[in-house]
Structure 1
Amino acid sequence: MPFRFVHTADLHLDSPLRSLALKNPELAELVRGATRTALARIVDLCLAESVDALLIAGDLYDGSQTSMNTALYLSSELRRLEAAGIGVFLIRGNHDSQSAMTRELTFPANVHVFAGRAKPVRAKALGNGREVHIHGISFANPHAPDSLLPSFHPPVADAVNIGMLHTSLAGTPGHDPYAPTSVAELARHGFDYWALGHVHLRQVHSESPLIVMPGMPQGRDINEAGPKTVTLVTVGDDGVLGHLEHQIGQAVFERVTIDLSGAQDWRQMLERVGETLASLRNQAGADHLILRVALTGTTPLAWKLRRDPDFLLAEITNLAAGLNGCWVEKIDIDCRGIDAGTALSGPDPVEELASLIRTDVLASHAFRQEAGAVLDELLLQLPRELRESLAGDEQAAGRLAEAMALAGSDDVLAYLHGGDAEGDR
């Protein structure tokens, strides 16, 4: 008989909202509950596939915010697996080590939590008698600057060996270094499968041995866009491993860019946006599609779009609402007006001012210094982790200041353009 298991990581149960753009209370509630739905769907998959085990490679919780309600929900789901005779193997990641649940929650008997240096656990014997052993190392502290690989036992002889490790590998943009190691080092250790966690993007790093970072099963904001999955692994009686990706996420975040070039009026703009949203919704495999819409292109509507962004958001949100499970969390406007003189009988003073701002003011050394100083003051009001994400170095800070200045000047120019926004439509 083969050994089959589901490999997941980074559920971040009951993670607080990370997107300030989720102003829609109904959408906000959906995102809040999505991590719980992901866990329930993972358990459903385990039951439907009659697997032998569920492997959770760290960050089951989301740090110190976790409540006892989270613990009760988790326990109820794990008991569903216990009733079906399905084992759960769990390691603690950096977020788990910050959670009180790590110290207080008593798991059902089917759950094995690996410690800092634990012996391998026999999970099953294959049809030919060859045993499957699972190894794992948990984080004791929120930070693990050194490799944990030396703490693993060597492979059990004449057995299938599966290792569980929460690691940033050699480093990934947007992720702090945790238990750093390399794919080559993992391969040399001699295990047949490495069940990794920590990086939220799925990647199969090696087929032999099989080394999988499953990604997270549910995205929480636009920076965790795309379908989210878990990995179903089968260890055959001959020891050969196969793997399949299964989509789990209830809600999928996506970015979409819509070119409005040639759109002459408000109705044409809405028609183009509506067609794009409908196409994306038809292609989405998740229950809910949450979009960040970027409007680009050269159109006489450019200033009108900027002049009344709240009305624009309401209009496009209404389009999405008619598509059953389609949401718009934010609209970015990057349209440009038609050059002065090409479609007008004479020079447009606001267009001339816009050109002056872009070519002279924003590019000047004095302005860049002033903008940088204002940005530095604003960044000091933010938590360190968010500061690093927005402006981790001098070049990133400069790009952010430039983008903010350009967006702000365009918003001001939109109002200077005049015209009654309601009448223009």
Structure 2
Amino acid sequence: MTAFRFIHCSDLHIDSPFKGLASQVPSLTERLRESTFQAFHKIVKLALEERVDAVLIAGDIFDGADRSLQAQLKFRRGLQELSQEGIPSFIVHGNHDPSNSWSHTLDWPEGTTIFPGNKVERFPVMRGGKTLAWIYGISYPQKEVNENLALKFNKDQTQGFAVGLLHANVGQQPGHDNYAPCSLQDLISRDFDYWALGHIHEFKILREDNPCIVYSGNSQARHLKETGPKGCCLVTLNSGAPANIRFVATDVVSYRSAKVDVSGNSSINEVLLAIQSQVEELAKESLTHEGLVARLVLTGRTAIHNELQSPGTAKALEEETNTFFEGHSPWVLVDLSTQTSGTYDIDSLKEGKDFVADLINLCEDDQDKQLERKIQETMKPVFKSWAGRKYLDAFSAEEIQAVTLKARNLALGQLVNRENS
């Protein structure tokens, strides 16, 4: 069979509001909102430069069911560029943009295929009058789809490659809603050549052998949990050979996280210099991006621990840093938190026979995860509420550990100082 080259992307989340980040530095609001559009434009540009045979988009094109008409028109404009060069696009709806929420009066460019939500359908990719591949797909008819959609796919062809386009949680990937849940074996059993997946915001190759099963990840990070490069996959399928997959970064705003060790710092001025030095290092690593969003965590044992933990201190340091980097290229937005501790000896304190020792051991020795389960149980009403589900993600194990450490350090700062006074 003739080689089939295509772009696999997903989770564009066009028109994301960036509410939390935008409120920190209002002057950057528009730049943040435009970043998802710019990332999609880079995908279109890549498709045109590489002269691919098709572009596949595996769901969540828009961020929410209430996307603006302007967002849909901008998306259509990109598809029009592809259409004008004879590059077809294939699209499925995901949980963020179910088919019942798209405009039904907006015409889409020639060569655009949007899969229905009631059944799996297949459409051919043609070149020179010959069928290169068949694209199989199904959309989400509404936001919550809990059935196994993978089992609805059945290969029905005699020529060309078979590619599945699906928005789903394969193998219960953590940190994401378990929509359209299926197993890796469910996908393997369909006898396809490639599965173009969406829903997980991280580039992941779940299986390299035929069938190749891949999450392209999102094209542009939208919050501080989504660190690292974001982009799309440039895929080449050849008969009898493994899929050739090249990840291509498309993000225009880099999201990074780093710890700033302020051990030994004895003044706020020293802390500010340490923060600025870390930001400058991250900015050097992000020169190919228009912007840098950095989550910094102050760590280490310092004599000014109590001052750093005082209400408003972290916010003041954050604002001072953002002001310092105004006009910088790439532009900079810093989110700052503290996990410092006092200069007391933790190892000596936890060997004691008092409440302080019990507190330290409780926070550090949670092998049966009782403390983690208690925190999750306490926060459950928040994450189950409408507002919580819309704006918040459930705590990860790493975040619970960070919260526990911060609580321990806050408590020790008060208890040890009181005992020493």
- What is the TM-score when the length of structure 2 is the normalising length? 0.81
Say if 1:274 and 1:396 are closer, same or farther in 2 by CA, change over 3 A: closer
The structural deviation recorded for 1:227 is 1.1
Say if 1:387 and 1:17 are closer, same or farther in 2 by CA, change over 3 A: closer
Match of 1:288 in 2: 291
Say if 1:231 and 1:399 are closer, same or farther in 2 by CA, change over 3 A: closer
C-alpha deviations, 1:118-177, integer Å up to 9, x for none? 4422202589x6731111111122222121123223242242111111110121112121
Q: Is the partner of 1:278 in helix, strand or coil?
A: helix
The structural deviation recorded for 1:40 is 1.1
The structural deviation recorded for 1:238 is 6.7
Task: Note if contact 2:172-2:181 (Cα within 8 Å) is conserved in structure 1.
Answer: yes
Match of 2:227 in 1: 225
Count of paired positions: 396
Say if 1:398 and 1:15 are closer, same or farther in 2 by CA, change over 3 A: closer
Q: Distance between the aligned counterparts of 2:385 and 2:167, measured in 1?
A: 31
Q: Distance between the aligned counterparts of 1:121 and 1:179, measured in 2?
A: 22
Task: Note if contact 2:154-2:190 (Cα within 8 Å) is conserved in structure 1.
Answer: no
The structural deviation recorded for 1:359 is 5.5
Match of 1:234 in 2: 236
Question: Quick one: percent identity of the two aligned structures?
Answer: 27
Residue 302 of structure 2 is aligned to residue 302 of structure 1: no
What are the residue-to-residue correspondences of 1:11-410 with 2, within 5 Å? 11-19=12-20, 22-97=23-98, 100-101=101-102, 103-115=104-116, 116-125=118-127, 131-209=132-210, 210-236=212-238, 241-284=243-286, 285-307=288-310, 308-321=313-326, 323-339=328-344, 383-385=387-389, 389-390=393-394, 406=408
Say if 1:111 and 1:403 are closer, same or farther in 2 by CA, change over 3 A: same
Q: Is the partner of 1:332 in helix, strand or coil?
A: strand
- Long gaps (5+) in structure 2: 346-353, 363-370
Task: Note if contact 1:57-1:164 (Cα within 8 Å) is conserved in structure 2.
Answer: yes
Say if 1:27 and 1:87 are closer, same or farther in 2 by CA, change over 3 A: same
Task: Note if contact 1:390-1:396 (Cα within 8 Å) is conserved in structure 2.
Answer: no
Task: Note if contact 1:390-1:400 (Cα within 8 Å) is conserved in structure 2.
Answer: no
Task: Note if contact 2:124-2:132 (Cα within 8 Å) is conserved in structure 1.
Answer: yes
Match of 1:344 in 2: none
Q: Which region of structure 1 is more displaced relative to structure 2, 43-52 or 26-35?
A: 26-35
Q: Distance between the aligned counterparts of 2:85 and 2:399, measured in 1?
A: 53
Residue identity in the other structure for 1:306 = Q
The structural deviation recorded for 1:269 is 2.6
Q: Distance between the aligned counterparts of 1:329 and 1:99, measured in 2?
A: 38
C-alpha deviations, 1:208-228, integer Å up to 9, x for none? 221110000011101122110
C-alpha deviations, 1:6-35, integer Å up to 9, x for none? 110111110222536741012332222211
Give the number of the structure whose alpha-carbon radius of gyration is greater: 1
Task: Note if contact 1:261-1:298 (Cα within 8 Å) is conserved in structure 2.
Answer: yes
Say if 1:378 and 1:211 are closer, same or farther in 2 by CA, change over 3 A: closer
The structural deviation recorded for 1:361 is 8.3
Q: Distance between the aligned counterparts of 2:114 and 2:277, measured in 1?
A: 49
Task: Note if contact 1:165-1:195 (Cα within 8 Å) is conserved in structure 2.
Answer: yes
Residue identity in the other structure for 2:101 = A
The structural deviation recorded for 1:179 is 1.5
Q: Distance between the aligned counterparts of 1:396 and 1:245, measured in 2?
A: 27
Residue identity in the other structure for 2:254 = V
Q: Is the partner of 1:222 in helix, strand or coil?
A: coil
- What is the TM-score when the length of structure 1 is the normalising length? 0.80
Task: Note if contact 2:256-2:295 (Cα within 8 Å) is conserved in structure 1.
Answer: yes
Say if 1:65 and 1:357 are closer, same or farther in 2 by CA, change over 3 A: farther
Task: Note if contact 2:383-2:389 (Cα within 8 Å) is conserved in structure 1.
Answer: no
Q: CA RMSD in A?
A: 3.7
Task: Note if contact 1:362-1:402 (Cα within 8 Å) is conserved in structure 2.
Answer: no
Q: Distance between the aligned counterparts of 1:134 and 1:300, measured in 2?
A: 62
Q: Distance between the aligned counterparts of 1:272 and 1:328, measured in 2?
A: 16
Match of 1:351 in 2: none
Say if 1:148 and 1:237 are closer, same or farther in 2 by CA, change over 3 A: closer
Task: Note if contact 1:372-1:397 (Cα within 8 Å) is conserved in structure 2.
Answer: no
Residue identity in the other structure for 2:6 = F
Q: Is the partner of 1:89 in helix, strand or coil?
A: strand
Q: Is the partner of 2:70 in helix, strand or coil?
A: helix
Task: Note if contact 1:118-1:136 (Cα within 8 Å) is conserved in structure 2.
Answer: yes
Q: Is the partner of 2:300 in helix, strand or coil?
A: strand
The structural deviation recorded for 1:60 is 0.9
- Long gaps (5+) in structure 1: 341-355, 417-425
C-alpha deviations, 1:69-108, integer Å up to 9, x for none? 1111111111111111110011111222166325343211
Q: Distance between the aligned counterparts of 1:98 and 1:412, measured in 2?
A: 54
Q: Which region of structure 1 is more displaced relative to structure 2, 397-406 or 77-86?
A: 397-406
Q: Distance between the aligned counterparts of 1:14 and 1:241, measured in 2?
A: 32
